[in-house]
Amino acid sequence: MRILFHTAGIDREAWIDALQRALPEAHIESWTAGSVCRADYALLWKPPLALVEHVRGVRAIFNLGAGVDSIPDFAALPRTVALVRLDDAGMAEQMVEYVIHALLRHYREFDTYAEQQHNGLWQPRPRRLKSDFVVGILGAGVLGAAVASAIATLHFPVRTWSRTSRAIAAATSFTGISELETFLSATRVLVCLLPLTRETEGLLDRERLSRLPRGAYLINVARGALVADADLLELLDAGHLSGATLDVFRDEPLPREHRFWHHPRVALTPHVSAVTLVEESVQQIVEKIRRLEAGLPITGVVDRERGY
């Protein structure tokens, strides 16, 4: 068995070491520009287009991250090549931690208390009602479902929105573009966990963000290109949105001149809400490769039309 491996910006040696331990019978080869490599499977993260064109003969491409938008022109791959995403691999727990922290930081007004501390003020704030803090989860896949379930245990009202119907216990579900406005209209804290596709790019523009109630809060842990930056900044400046926690951005690293860096209503982190865990991911990938070798079906195969 031959495996072609390529990453951009993640720990190459740790991945190769874990793969060699889990698949000792495999020959693992790294790709370099202009090289010729015949492989059965490709494990890729942010590959150049030349590499994607090079691996059209493999049985499957495994994407080493949560979103397959990192694979350029994947829709043009032959139908005989399965494009496979990670199902979870330790990301759901991390995402739950991050979102709950951002939610509670906003709900309990910790930023206000930090400012009071800086100014030497002792001013307890009246407690807010949880029943008024409807949390809306955009995207009800593996990660969205985990976040929705965890938030519900804290007794916040939870609603989810997805392209196709997804029933999640303790959450009110909304489906399709026709129900998006209704979903947004009562959402006090909006958590974005949608995949980035042709249909979702720029989905959260001025029109849709304005549908949120005045004082609403945005948490984006999916992809930066889902949000129109200028529109978000306009609504923050106008006070329609009370703030935003952003972990993902259209351009990463975030350019130093971007207003998000110093905006008083923006908290940002450098795309760390849920990092890919090597050992867990390798275990999942190896299990799927063994199933494919045995002629068995696997989960996580991407629908080329939907983009996830």
Note the pTM of the prediction, 2 decimals. Answer: 0.92
Rg over alpha carbons for the chain, rounded to the nearest Å, is 21
CATH topology of domain 91-268: Rossmann fold (3.40.50)
The architecture (CATH level 2) of 2-89+276-293 comes to 3-Layer(aba) Sandwich (3.40)
Q: Hey, where are the domains in the chain?
A: 2-89+276-293, 91-268
Q: Is the pLDDT of residue 10 over 70?
A: no
Cα 177 from Cα 164, distance rounded (Å)? 10
The string of DSSP letters for 185-226 reads HT-SEEEE-PPP-TTTTT-B-HHHHTTSPTTEEEEE-S-GGG
Task: Single out the catalytic residue among 27, 223, 258, 304.
Answer: 223
In which band, very low, low, confident or very high, does the pLDDT at 55 lie, cut at 50, 70 and 90? confident
| Torsional sign, CA 150, 147, 237, 208 | negative
Task: Single out the catalytic residue among 59, 101, 263, 271.
Answer: 271
Q: Per residue in 159-212, pLDDT tens?
A: 999 998 888 988 999 999 999 999 999 999 999 999 999 999 999 999 999 999
Q: Is the pLDDT of residue 134 over 90?
A: yes
Average pLDDT taken over every residue of the chain: 94
In which band, very low, low, confident or very high, does the pLDDT at 298 lie, cut at 50, 70 and 90? very high
Cα 233 from Cα 246, distance rounded (Å)? 12
**Are the beta carbons of 135 and 188 closer than 8 angstroms?**
yes
Q: Is the pLDDT of residue 12 over 90?
A: no
Per-residue model confidence (pLDDT) at position 147: 98
More confident residue, 150 or 34: 150
Quick check: do 2-89+276-293 and 91-268 share a fold?
Answer: yes
Q: Check if 85 is active-site.
A: no
Q: Check if 223 is active-site.
A: yes
